[in-house]
Structure 1
Amino acid sequence: MAGRRLEAVDCELAAAEDWRLPGRVVERVEARGKNLLIHCAALEGAGVEQPGGLPVAIWTHMGMTGSWHSYRLGEPWQLPRERARIVLHTQRRVLPCFSPEALEFLGPRGLARHRVLATLGPDLLDPDADLDGPSPGSALWARSRSATRSCVSRRSPGSATSTSRSLLFLARPRSLFASESVP
């Protein structure tokens, strides 16, 4: 998706028109737990004062039932079109988002001040995550600096159980897998 131009955007929110999404290039896609951010560049040639002159992030929170799908042009969809809250069109793909818990468009200031995103700690499974320094807005992370304690925070991306299991798998402690440790 990174580097692709949005040819068209179908969205139920009027804010999609305000941000002038068609024509923007996707800079990167960032998953943070159940949050997905699609970062789009400012429109080429648009000044900061003009619509489309600022970069925008499309923020979706998947909740328990939301999902993004990716289809080739003309490929049949697995879910009904009316359940898609936003559909991104590129030259080769159609990307609908079905039943997200939240959908917003965030400019640079909105992204920095967002009530949910500002409180998330680092992604514990990201190999480049700064696990030694405090994460903005996460008091638990700043106090403890402990991956284990941050897993129990409701604001850590992912559930405590799945994140703990993933960390244990990556660490591969021998005592958990050694045959002599099984009674």
Structure 2
Amino acid sequence: MPEGDTVFLAGRRLHDALAGQELTRGELRHPRLVQHDLAGRTVLEVVSVGKHLFTRFDDATSLHSHFRMDGSWHLYRPGRPWKGPDHQVRAILAVPERVAVGFRLHDLDLLPTEREDTWVGHLGPDLLGEGWGPDDAAEVERRLRADPARELGAALLDQRVACGVGNLYKAEICFLVGVSPWTPVRDLSDQQVHDVVAWAHKLLSRNAWRPEQSTTGDLGDGAQHWVFERGGRGCRRCRDVVQSAGQAETQHADRGSPEREDRIAYFCPTCQPGPHPPLPPRRRGRRPQQQSVPRARY
């Protein structure tokens, strides 16, 4: 599932392309919405709330979309070929100079703007929300502590705690704070809880305006992340082997239908002390080759 900064950037690009303009084409191909034609409505704005997007129109309605695992919005110049098969298109919003095409948007709804809370009212503070401040951070800390027995990794992915963190940032935040993803929240110090929230906001904010997602401060190929998707490779800090294991998470909590599902968690056993699943036996021989440590730009 995309991280919150990916959805934020998609929303900003859609807003810049469509806001203030009347739709020359407004086709919805989702099975529940095929009877609606949005042509003639003016787009007021496109806003993101966590991993949700709302395209708001001048008739007080909003088009809600959620990417799930594989959805996306593409922008094209009129007449340019689309980079995706026609049968995956669920929405087409066109203005004179741009065409927005929504691919694989399994969650697509047209609703009164005043009822957007139906989809997002239960969520925690948006880490990329306008005006984020100390009160928002304190509320996320409170929600983290509300279930002391919960594993930190699971809590970070719960959008009811805070909006925006996905599996990538979960792994990187736990590494930067220096704790195992399986650490119960009750075992974290007040400073560690504070740091978890601070890193979550900092990392998403610094990646929100670009497609590349770097948590190390380095945009070089293969140098963007500390542990995410680096299982079996040497830790950038200590040379121990980065491990990966499944961690049970509450999925889809931001869409109102929680499901239990294992997600891969990445961690360094040396840099991130705390509970974790049994690790495979270490191989004899050389330790993994030391990787160059990215410069600390964050």
Q: When the two structures are superposed, what TM-score results if normalisation uses the length of structure 2?
A: 0.44
Residue aligned with 1:74, SS: coil
CA offset digits 1:57-87 (Å, max 9, x no partner) = 1100101100000000001111012211111
Cα gap change, 1:67 to 1:77, in 2 (>3 Å)? same
Where in structure 2 are the equivalents of 1:18-37 lying within 5 Å? Answer: 18=36, 21-37=38-54
Name the residue aligned to 2:25: 8
Distance 1:133 1:34 in 2: 17
Cα gap change, 1:5 to 1:27, in 2 (>3 Å)? same
Distance 1:67 1:125 in 2: 19
Where in structure 2 are the equivalents of 1:129-148 lying within 5 Å? Answer: 129-132=132-135, 141=140, 143-144=142-143
Q: 1:61 aligns with which of 53, 57, 66?
A: 66
Cα gap change, 1:81 to 1:149, in 2 (>3 Å)? closer
Shift of 1:160: 6.3
Cα gap change, 1:143 to 1:22, in 2 (>3 Å)? same
Shift of 1:166: 5.2
Name the residue aligned to 1:45: none
Cα gap change, 1:127 to 1:41, in 2 (>3 Å)? closer
Amino acid at match of 2:28: C
CA offset digits 1:81-127 (Å, max 9, x no partner) = 22111111111111110002300011034323x1x311122221345
Distance 2:166 2:129 in 1: 15
Name the residue aligned to 2:165: 158
2:91 is equivalent to residue 86 of structure 1: yes
- 1:133 and 1:145 in contact (8 A); partners too: no
Amino acid at match of 1:29: V
Larger radius of gyration: 2
Name the residue aligned to 2:251: none
Residue aligned with 2:131, SS: coil
Residue aligned with 1:152, SS: helix
2:54 is equivalent to residue 40 of structure 1: no
Residue aligned with 1:96, SS: strand
Shift of 1:32: 2.2
Question: Superposition RMSD on alpha carbons, in Å?
Answer: 3.5
Name the residue aligned to 2:194: none
Distance 2:83 2:57 in 1: 27
Amino acid at match of 2:41: R
Name the residue aligned to 1:167: 201
CA offset digits 1:120-156 (Å, max 9, x no partner) = 222213452355159xxxxx7494488x999625112
Q: When the two structures are superposed, what TM-score results if normalisation uses the length of structure 1?
A: 0.68
Name the % identity: 25
Aligned length: 155
